[in-house]
Amino acid sequence: MTNSPRLPGQDSPVSRRRGGTEGFWFGMAFLLGGAALFMGIVTAILPDAAFLFAVLLGFAAMIALHYFTWGRWLSRVIEHEAPEDEPSWPQPPIPPEG
């Protein structure tokens, strides 16, 4: 790789780190496993806490459903929507000069 300046017509070099996504999923699995272990221990000590964890899990499921519905799906729909698919705004009438 050279350190020569890039001309305006040249494409920028593509460099991607492969470890970002795998590290994220490993971290999420670690956090969820730790949370499940914590909830199991607390539920063994306080059996009434199972209802609290069920309510919290329900809230988390609603947030995840909202994220996947509006965050991921809708952004893909908007990307594929062409600008000419939308009707143009009507032009306002021009008042007569006088």
Q: Which residues contact 6 (CB under 8 A, 6 or more apart)?
A: 12
Nearest Cα to Cα of residue 32 among 56, 67, 65, 68: 56
pLDDT at 8: 66
Q: Evaluate if residue 13 carries a pLDDT over 90.
A: no
Q: Please give the distance of CA 44 from its chain centroid, rounded to a whole number.
A: 35
For residue 33, what pLDDT is reported?
93
State the pLDDT at residue 78: 76
- Measured CA to CA, the distance from residue 26 to residue 88 in angstroms comes to 47
| Half-sphere CA count of 34, side-chain side, radius 13 A | 6
Q: How many CB atoms lie within 10 A of CB 57?
A: 11
Domain limits of the chain? Answer: 20-81
User: Mind listing the pLDDT tens digit for each residue in 62-92?
Assistant: 998 888 888 777 777 777 776 666 667 777 7
Stretch 25-53: mean pLDDT: 91
d(CA 79, CA 24): 25
Judged against a pLDDT cut of 80, whether residue 12 lies above it is answered with no
